[in-house]
Chains A and B, each alone.
Chain A
Amino acid sequence: MPQVITADAELNCIGIYCPGPIAMTRDKIDTMSTGQVLKVDTDDPSAEEDLPRWAKRTGHEVMNIEKSGATMTFYIRRVK
């Protein structure tokens, strides 16, 4: 059974390209509490490489990445 992740907030970055999804994710997660999960939908192919690197640098956790066609959905937990 796949892990079911419940998001506390969602961010729609469809149609927005680098560096938009990074900046939007940063702004959104800054408004959230430690431990909460942000769901990010993006069709920017750069995000697959960029978002995990951003998360590692900023100390947040990419819990899961789902792919459906050109769309990727990231579940990112605010760690600090």
Chain B
Amino acid sequence: MAKILYVLTNGPDTPERLYAPFILGSTARAMDVEASIFFVIKGIMVMKKGVAETIKIGAFPSLKDVIDQAASAGVKFYVCEQSTQLLGIPRGDFIDAAKISGAATLNDLALDADAVLTF
């Protein structure tokens, strides 16, 4: 099965950049493509509990709804917890679907993927 890795580096201060990885990931699953999203730098904020519920743009559903849809479709979420230290925020407190991981995992996922898209 083909694999796509999406990397989200942006956070809630640019909400218009946050939807694409989840929508693309859900669509990838419908195309029988394995989809993973790696959250790093500000991107980890959308995996913090309670944050996605606060993000909604125009006629789009809330980011929480889009995240739940992607998770249900089988998109895998990986969070760089060490980014919390970069941002000066507390460790942990991520949604249950998020798998805490790090540098070796991002490198490994990128090498394994047939395509890597960064947002």
Contact = CB atoms under 8 A, between A and B. Distances in A.
B82 A50 contact: no
Interface string A32-49: 000000000000111111
**B interface majority secondary structure:** mixed
Nearest to A51: B104
Nearest to A45: B100
Interface residues of A, number: 16
B103 interface: yes
B118 interface: no
A22 interface: yes
B108 interface: yes
A16 to B, nearest CB: 11
Interface in B71-119: 78, 80-82, 85, 92, 99-105, 107-108, 111
Interface in A38-69: 44-51, 53-54, 56-57
Nearest to A56: B108
B81 A46 contact: yes
A17 B104 contact: no
B82 A22 contact: no
A19 B100 CA distance: 13
12 contacts: A17-B85, A18-B103, A44-B102, A46-B101, A49-B78, A49-B99, A49-B100, A49-B101, A50-B102, A50-B104, A50-B105, A53-B104
Given A45-B81, A46-B81, A48-B101, 6 more contacts: A17-B85, A44-B102, A48-B100, A53-B108, A54-B104, A57-B104
